[in-house]
Structure formats: structure tokens, C-alpha cells
Amino acid sequence: MATETQKEERGFESEVQQLLDLVINSLYSNKEIFLRELVSNSSDAIDKLRFLSLSDAGLLEGAAELEITIDFNEKKKTVTIKDNGIGMTKEEVISNLGTIAKSGTKEFFGALSGDQTKDSQLIGQFGVGFYAAFIVADRVVVTTRKAGITGDEGVRWESEGKGAYTVETVSAEQRGTEIVLHLKKEAKEFAANHRLRNICKKYSDHISVPIRMPSVGEEEGYEVINEATAMWQKSKSELKDEDYQTFYKLISHDFMDPLKWVHSKVEGKIEYTTLFYIPQIAPFDLWDREAKHGVKLYVQRVFIMDDAEELLPRYLRFVRGVIDTNELPLNVSREILQKDKSLDKIRTASIKKILGLIERLAKGESYEKFWSTFGKVLKEGIIEDTVNRERIAKLLRFSSTIDDNENPAVSLSDYVSRMGEEQTNIYYITTESFSTAKNSPHIEYFRGQGTEVLLLHDQIDEWLVSHLTEFEGKNLKSIVHADLEGKNEEGKADENDETKEIGEHDEFFAKIREALSEEVEDVRSSKRLTTSPACLVSSAEQPSANLERLLQAAGQEVPKTKRILELNMEHPVIALAQENQDSADLKDWSEMLYEQSILAEGGKLEDPSGFIKRMNEMMLKLSGA
């Protein structure tokens, strides 16, 4: 007995409306992608049903031929996309078509600028999915019924895409989803057989589900218009670049072509096929480590899942593609997957394939683009993937004092190849910004010596260097730490001088140390400074100031550590302070030396107005006012 309910009107979640407006405004010049998005959803729905029916054949309800049908009515100006896939319950319709469940959505909408050209580029990263229907339609009617429930529990959803939609319970004989698009005037051209066929050919030929359309010519009825074979099962020689590009867009919802791909069939003990793509642009949720992965697992052509970390590690979450194997049982569960030996092997081999792909990319010009888009994610691999650490390390790119270029282009191998014979360390500095790194007082000595220093200015770099301590037998060494071997290694002759100097200035240092007893551990003469008067260094066991700041920013309690204040004894300001070391101003001067050292490393002063006050007083004093 049909339990028809009243039509219920509901408002869209505000993000949905925002997305709808954006879709309509920014994709009007690329209208035809609506079909690709809806066909792709239908294909996913069929994939889901096929998988679930393996353990519950009843879900097929005797209609085991899974297919998508595209129909149209030229007079009424409608296009209909129908599938006999998994379908949706009322709750699912409300949450799938009325809200945006993707994590990171808030951040995405926060990033919108209101500038249409800019925002329409972002939309490609978001993936518009179902809402693409509103590019061409001013009324969309969805009728759906979930597989396995009774025919009177169908749902009809209807909307004009303007803030609200209605839902009602209807009877629906057939399982699956039907979407009727009432075309806008300016999109009526789509209600035509050849037009729809051409679009399908262009975007959906490689979908593994048959797509049926009304026959052309004499015969009545429908005919299958696509190849309906799994694209990745074809041999490479049968496939053109365009085939790979089209398939990529189909599975990724991306508007751009991929940067590069690798397709391989492995035969032997374990048989499997993989097709991996590297996109050109980052998806909107790249920074959400929990986000769904872009690689789909198929077993014997049946789609199994697409969000399993079992398939690829997180640091490769930007990769899109397919893994297909006959090795796993079809009714594989997540628990089985986690323990499965052959999947483990496929995963290991897949990582190697992808790293190989990135290595090939690294040889060409597009690597810069790749690195600026995905470099930070790949860096996570140094921390996550100890097995491939060496290989990933070779792919890293950094800024360096060699050219002071903010775009990271220097590899560790480049650095090593430029190292002098006597140099045993790879030197780096970590800061929050490129200019802080580039202008850091700590670097002065190295610049003077012509020793290259890597300028690390990504947040993750601090963690990176804590895991990557050596490369090709050379140690990676921070230049902000006190035990600067580099200094000795390249300037051994100075060592005695330094001890002598320390003895010479002991009294002066003691006075400053006393003035700064709350702030610093020790005061001493510096060899690393040439143009700046002072800087702070950490002892080998201490975290760097940059790391302390990062931990604080992440909400962690960081105990205050006292560091060592190094003074440039050649600097006129220090000379002046030394001459007047008995002056009442020494306390203020010491504070200012300490505070400017903090500012130079990109740190924050505890008492900025105190600093300004001291500075102004000093200016007035010097001018004799």
C-alpha cells in the first residue's frame, strides 16, 4: 500500500545554495559537463549495487542487467538520466542532495572571494557532482528508490535550485534513480539525440556500465552507445592520450587534463592492473588528511572501494586512478583487506610505480608546477614512509642561498654536488617565511664563506628535518644550533682566537648575562655574524625557536627555554655597548639586542610596546633631545 506523504518543502543548507549559484555562474560556458557528472554518479550507484549484491543477491530484484539510460523529449525540452543502481532512501536524498557532506566544505567556501573568475577556477577543485544539473536545468526532478526496499517507498525530490526543494514519498516500481532535467531556454539544444550521444562519446565512453539511448534511424527501441568495457583493461597500444585524459576527468571530476599518468599490467604470481594519474591542480580538500582517496579498487571488474588507506599511503593522496586485481575474493571486507598479503604487495608496488612516475616528472619542466602544488604533501612521505625515504628525499626541492629563489628548486643532490671537499654537513635553516630565512643573521657567516644553506620555510619542514637526518652519507644540520661544527670545520684556525676572545670579553658578557638573566642562558662572542650585532642560538638538545613557535601555534604547552645570545664583537653597536658597559643604559641595550634577535628570526616579542619605548627613548637620547 503506497504511503504517499505530503510534499514537504525544505531549504537548502546555505553552502548548497552558494555552490549552486557558483556552478550556474561559472560553468555556463562549459554546459555539457552536466551529463558527465550525472552519468558518473549513476555509474557509481551501479558499482555500489553490484558490490552489495555479491553478499545479498536479493538486492538485484531479478533485474541483474545493470545499465544507464539517457532519454530526451525535444518538445518538452527535457533530458532524463536513469540508472538501476543502488538508489536512495528519503533520508539519503535529503542529506545527499540538500547538504554538502564533504569535509573541508566550510574552508572551501571561506576561500571564495566573490570574484567570479577566480571562484570559477576553485569550483573545478571542488567537484560539482549532482549540482551540475542546474547548469542546464531550471527544474530538476529526481525520483529514486533504494534497492531492497518496497516499491511504495520511492522518493521524489524537486527543485528549481533557488534556495529550496521539496521531497515526498511516491511509489516507484523500479529500483534506482531517475533524474529529469527541465532545460533552460538557452540549453534546449541538449534535448537532441546526436548532441547527447556526442557528449557521451566524449566523456563517458570508457565507463564500464552500458549506456543506452533511443536508436537512431528506422528501428524503435534503445541501443547501447558506449563500449562499456573497463578502460584500464585495454592494452596500452589500443589507447591514445585522449583516452587517458577523458577517463581521468570521468573518475576525478576534474576539468583539467592530468599532468602525467602511468598504466601497467602486472602478470605473474599476483596479477593486477593499475592506472595512476597526477592531477595538475590540487583538490579543495588536499589538506584534509582524512579526505577520501582518489584511487578506486576493483576486484574482477567489480568496484570495491575508493577510500581505503589500505590502497595508498596518505602522502600520495593527490593521486587518482584505479587498481584492479583478481587476487582478492569478491566479498572482501575492510577487515580482510587490512590483513591481505597480496593487497599488501600490490600497495607496495603501486607506491613504487607512483614514485617512479614522479621521478620521471622531476626530469622535466612540469616538475616545478607539480612541486608547488603537491610538494608539501609529498614531504609527509619522509615522515610516513621509512622504506622509501631515500627515494622521496631525492624528489624534495628547497630554496637555497645559492640563488635566494623563493620557489624551491634545489634538490639535495644538487646541494651535495656543490659541497666543498671538506664540508661534511648539509646546512639548513627553518623559519616561518622565506624572507626571514633569507635575511637571517645566522646565515651571514655561511654567506661570507660561500657555503650554501637551504632555506626551509614550510611549516612541515621542521618535522621533515627531524626525520631526515642524513642524505647520501651527509648529515643535515641546522645552523641555528650552538654547536656549529661547520664553523670549526671550515675555519679551524679561528678556534684559538675564539677562546682568547671569550676570555677577553668575559666581564662584558657577564654584565649582559645579568641584565638578561630571565631571558638567556649565556652570552658569548659569535663567529657566525658579520652584519648583524646579535643572534640567539639553541643548544643541540633544545628545540629550535621555529619548532617552539610551531608547537605553540598547534596549541601545545612549550616550556620556556633559555637560549644563548651570541654577539658580533666586530659590530659598532656592540663596540659602543662595550665601551659604555658601566652605563645605566646597559640594561636597556641588552634588552634591545635580545629583542632584535627574536624579531630577526621571525619571533614575537613578549612586550612589543616595551621594545618600542626603549627604541624611541634611545633615538631621542642620541639626537640630544
Hey, is 558 helix, strand or coil?
coil
User: Smallest distance, Å, CB 46 to ligand ADP?
Assistant: 8
User: Smallest distance, Å, CB 127 to ligand ADP?
Assistant: 5
The answer to whether 159 contacts ligand ADP (rule: CB under 6 A) is no
User: Closer CB to ligand ADP, residue 96 or residue 538?
Assistant: 96
Distance of CA 68 to the CA centre of its chain: 33
User: Closer CB to ligand ADP, residue 306 or residue 548?
Assistant: 306
- The helix or strand, by DSSP H or E, that contains position 507, with its residue range, turns out to be helix 494-515
| Site map 131..150 versus ligand ADP, x via CB under 6 A | x-------------------
Determine the size of the site formed for ligand ADP (CB under 6 A): 14
**Calpha distance 348→387 (Å, rounded):** 10
User: Smallest distance, Å, CB 144 to ligand ADP?
Assistant: 6
Q: Residue with CB nearest ligand ADP?
A: 129
| Site map 72..91 versus ligand ADP, x via CB under 6 A | -----------x-xxxx---
User: Smallest distance, Å, CB 393 to ligand ADP?
Assistant: 35
The answer to whether 96 contacts ligand ADP (rule: CB under 6 A) is yes
User: Smallest distance, Å, CB 559 to ligand ADP?
Assistant: 46
User: Smallest distance, Å, CB 490 to ligand ADP?
Assistant: 56
The answer to whether 521 contacts ligand ADP (rule: CB under 6 A) is no
The answer to whether 42 contacts ligand ADP (rule: CB under 6 A) is yes
**Calpha distance 321→272 (Å, rounded):** 14
C-alpha atoms less than 13 angstroms from C-alpha of 130 in its C-beta half-sphere: 24
C-alpha atoms less than 13 angstroms from C-alpha of 44 in its C-beta half-sphere: 16
Which member of 22, 27, 39, 45 binds ligand ADP (CB under 6 A)? 45
User: Closer CB to ligand ADP, residue 213 or residue 516?
Assistant: 213
Torsions phi, psi of 222, nearest 5? Answer: -120, 155
User: DSSP readout, 567-581?
Assistant: E-TTSHHHHHHHHTT
The answer to whether 130 contacts ligand ADP (rule: CB under 6 A) is yes
User: Closer CB to ligand ADP, residue 43 or residue 273?
Assistant: 43
The answer to whether 436 contacts ligand ADP (rule: CB under 6 A) is no
Cell (9 digits) for 21: 549559484
User: Smallest distance, Å, CB 128 to ligand ADP?
Assistant: 7
Of the listed pieces 37-45, 271-279, 395-403, 460-468, which binds ligand ADP according to CB under 6 A?
37-45
Hey, is 203 helix, strand or coil?
helix
User: Closer CB to ligand ADP, residue 26 or residue 597?
Assistant: 26
User: Closer CB to ligand ADP, residue 84 or residue 544?
Assistant: 84
222 residue type, one letter: Y
- The helix or strand, by DSSP H or E, that contains position 70, with its residue range, turns out to be strand 68-73
Hey, is 193 helix, strand or coil?
helix
- The helix or strand, by DSSP H or E, that contains position 120, with its residue range, turns out to be helix 116-126
User: Closer CB to ligand ADP, residue 177 or residue 532?
Assistant: 177
User: Smallest distance, Å, CB 483 to ligand ADP?
Assistant: 53
Torsions phi, psi of 156, nearest 5? Answer: -115, 130
Hey, is 218 helix, strand or coil?
coil
User: Smallest distance, Å, CB 157 to ligand ADP?
Assistant: 11
Instruction: Give the residue from 87, 48, 58 showing the smallest Cα distance to 304.
Output: 48
The answer to whether 463 contacts ligand ADP (rule: CB under 6 A) is no
User: Smallest distance, Å, CB 189 to ligand ADP?
Assistant: 24
Instruction: Give the residue from 165, 351, 321 showing the smallest Cα distance to 232.
Output: 321
- Contact set for ligand ADP, span 167-196 (CB under 6 A): 177
- Burial of 98-122, coded b for 16+ CB within 10 Å and e otherwise, reads bebebebbeebbeebeeeeeebbeb
User: Smallest distance, Å, CB 41 to ligand ADP?
Assistant: 3
User: Smallest distance, Å, CB 222 to ligand ADP?
Assistant: 18
**Calpha distance 543→561 (Å, rounded):** 9
Of the listed pieces 39-47, 158-166, 477-485, 584-592, which binds ligand ADP according to CB under 6 A?
39-47
Contacts for 588 with CB less than 8 Å, ≥ 6 apart: 614, 617, 618
The answer to whether 129 contacts ligand ADP (rule: CB under 6 A) is yes
User: Closer CB to ligand ADP, residue 98 or residue 356?
Assistant: 98
Please give the sequence-ordered ranges of beta strands (E in DSSP) within 219-366, or none if there are none.
222-224, 260-266, 272-278, 294-299, 302-305, 320-325
**Calpha distance 410→401 (Å, rounded):** 10
Query: Which residues of the chain form contacts with ligand ADP (CB under 6 A)?
Result: 41-42, 45, 83, 85-88, 96, 127, 129-131, 177
